[in-house]
Amino acid sequence: EAQVTQNPRYLITVTGKKLTVTCSQNMNHEYMSWYRQDPGLGLRQIYYSMNVEVTDKGDVPEGYKVSRKEKRNFPLILESPSPNQTSLYFCASTTRRFDTGELFFGEGSRLTVL
Amino acid sequence: AQSVTQLGSHVSVSEGALVLLRCNYSSSVPPYLFWYVQYPNQGLQLLLKYTSAATLVKGINGFEAEFKKSETSFHLTKPSAHMSDAAEYFCAVSRSSNTGKLIFGQGTTLQVKP
């Protein structure tokens, strides 16, 4: 089954404790992206990757890191989480082009930073 | 810079009534436009997309949207609402097919009353 898998789905952590949210897709997609969803703000893009070893900032990259060492994986790293990073996070993937591909989303990871 | 504005954070209709969700975009170049739907506790899924072909785009579940360049709009409609249409809807814009940036609107929650 084609899917984007995120882990963990739910996490409560404390300020400053490094964490990683994993994202894996099994569709051989070149493009992957991370979004955060906050009430009233919609989805905001954090980082995206057009291919292996190619990453770029979205609109809200501060406080986050990513890496793309393999095509299927695109982890999101919070080196020193802060309460303003409490949010619902989504990973998504597609073929390289938006006009021919559909963006597939994971089920989301709800993060609370105390 | 690109942006998307969805008019109305909440829309309520009766079952069987017309659904109209509004989306206006700002883009300096011809855009790629999308509507996504998010059901409770799930990721987003693509409803339909405009990629410079026909201006009237038909999507899944009976939804359609019309691209109007003169009005910079891409409103989503459905002739007759079903209870199962209750969800959050997001309009999104991309500048080109090969860019990694996809900008989402704030979202509109559709409530369907029996």
In chain B, which residues have their Cβ closer than 8 Å to the Cβ of A45? 101-104
CB contact under 8 A, A42 and B94: no
Question: Residue A12 corresponds to which amino acid?
Answer: I
CB contact under 8 A, A90 and B105: no
The answer on pLDDT for A37 being more than 90 is yes
CB contact under 8 A, A100 and B100: no
pLDDT (tens digit, 9 = 90+) per residue, B30-77? 788 999 999 988 889 999 998 877 889 999 999 999 999 889 999 999
Match 């109209």 to its residue by tokens: B20
Query: Where does the pLDDT of residue B101 fall: very low under 50, low under 70, confident under 90, or very high at 90 and above?
Result: confident
In chain B, which residues have their Cβ closer than 8 Å to the Cβ of A87? none
Work out the end-to-end distance of chain B between its first and last CA atoms, rounded to an integer number of angstroms.
Answer: 41
CB contact under 8 A, B106 and A100: no
Query: Could you tell me which residue, B39 or A2, shows the higher pLDDT?
Result: B39
Q: Residue B96: what pLDDT?
A: 65
- In chain A, what are the helix, strand and coil shares in percent, each to the nearest 5? 5, 50, 45
Bridge partners, A37 (sequence order):
A43, A88
- Least trusted range by pLDDT, from A74-83, A97-106, B30-39: A97-106
- φ/ψ region of A21 (left if φ > 0, alpha if ψ in -120 to 50, else beta) reads beta
Query: Where does the pLDDT of residue B16 fall: very low under 50, low under 70, confident under 90, or very high at 90 and above?
Result: very high
